[in-house]
Structure 1
Amino acid sequence: MSTVERVTRRFIRPALWLLVVLPAPMLIAQLLLDQLGADPIDKLERLTGAWALRFLIASLAVTPLMWLTGWGWLVAQRKFLGLAAFFWAFGHLSVYTVLDWFFDWQEITKDILKHLYITLGMTAFVLMVPLALTSTKGAIKRLGGVRWNRLHSLVYVSVIAACLHFVWAVKKDITEPMIYGGIALVLLAVRVVGRPPARTKSVTVPSA
């Protein structure tokens, strides 16, 4: 094991935990201190959604990185990033349902059906639910590698829906969502087109 791999393996999980958790108290503090602008709820929705999309895209980047480096142990970080994306997506949805609509399910349903970008956002979240629920080793064992891989290919649809949701949700400058969308498309292309042939038939690495 090289020095770079050894150092990376030692510090990557603490660094990821810090990256996932730290924005939450910062956003809460900004909300309580009235530092989120004229429409704090809308700003909070956009920021939590942006973090969810960042981690979802980051989870897609892990497999190409594994191919490039040969670091098979990164598969655990891919699962971690996927769960982080779900955590932030749940936070994003919670802001929408609790702070924006105050649990008014009738109006929430109308809003989802009326606005395509909200429909896409809800679709992205719903597709992430079974992925989060089957992220354990036990779930992989129960489903089997082939079925687990098929189920987790839903991440491709989820990230596309999430990117479109972000683009259409932004009313003015779409630079940031377009950047995320471009990165996601590149990673999807690499995942689908650039997949290397398996070295042996006996080894199967589940894809996120």
Structure 2
Amino acid sequence: MALSQKLVSSVKGIIFLLALLPFFRLVAFTILDKLGANPVEFITRNTGDWTLYFLCIALAVTPVRRLLNWPWLLKLRRMLGLYGFFYASLHFLTFLWFDHFFDLQEMWKDVLKRPFITVGFIAFVGLIPLALTSTNGMIKRLGGKRWQFLHKLVYVIVPLGVLHYYWMKSGKHDLTQPLIFAALVATLLLARVWWRWSSRLQNKANA
């Protein structure tokens, strides 16, 4: 299914605005004092959830593109990934600001002491080079192959994010959402493995 460049740009603009709605909702809830009895937990949970939502949606672009033959979807993937990084940054900022009041030493102790925070911190740090190299200029500087190799880190980062979420929820015995995320991510990654394996078999058969 081919779409005109103008229509694709319109779709990107709409998604760009929609992706900001969770942020504006947080701002509005803060102003209106509707964050509940534990505002820090509300913000932490909300920004963490939206980080995983956007990263999973970005991962889903390629499988959906292949299944529906919508090549124009690739034009949305970078923006969706960057929104994942945006909400991950808010998630980390909440942890650094409200939990540790910008005390880096105390924050680092917490990172080393609590495994679920360790995993989440590693995932966030892993997102930074992906965000910094998301521009066309950086793709040219790195070269296509090196850029693609670097951005395959997302296949490790997203499962780490899900593991972070699972461990956080396991203490509260509320594993429904983490297991849904785990099943979704596993499906998206296995689909890639399957397509690559099938492609290699096809190439051998053609040879």
Q: TM-score range by the shorter chain?
A: 0.7 to 0.9
Q: Percent identity, aligned pairs only?
A: 45
Q: Cα distance, 1:10 vs. partner?
A: 5.6
Structure 2 CA distance, aligned partners of 1:155 and 1:66? 18
Matched with 1:78 is: 77
TM-score by length of 2: 0.87
Structure 1 CA distance, aligned partners of 2:19 and 2:173? 28
Structure 2 CA distance, aligned partners of 1:166 and 1:145? 32
Once superposed, which parts of structure 1, at least 4 consecutive aligned residues long, lie more than 4 Å away? 5-8
More helix by share: 2
Q: Cα distance, 1:11 vs. partner?
A: 4.3
Q: Cα distance, 1:69 vs. partner?
A: 2.9
Q: Cα distance, 1:180 vs. partner?
A: 1.3
Find the residue that maps to 1:102 and give its secondary structure.
Answer: coil
Matched with 1:162 is: 161
CA RMSD of aligned residues (A): 2.0
2:68 pairs with 1:66: no
Find the residue that maps to 2:199 and give its secondary structure.
Answer: coil
Q: Deviations over 1:35-91 (max 9, x none)?
A: 222211011101001101100011000011221233333222011111010011001
Matched with 1:197 is: 199
1:172 partner letter: H
TM-score by length of 1: 0.87
Q: Cα distance, 1:157 vs. partner?
A: 0.7
Structure 1 CA distance, aligned partners of 2:199 and 2:128? 30
2:158 partner letter: V
Matched with 1:100 is: 99
Any stretches of 5+ residues in structure 2 without a counterpart? 201-207
Matched with 1:205 is: none
After superposition, the Cα gap between the structure-2 partners of 1:76 and 1:122, relative to the gap in structure 1 and judged at 3 Å, is same
More off after superposition, 87-96 vs 70-79: 70-79
2:14 pairs with 1:15: yes
Any stretches of 5+ residues in structure 1 without a counterpart? 199-208
Find the residue that maps to 2:90 and give its secondary structure.
Answer: helix
RCO higher in structure (CA 8 A, sep ≥6): 1
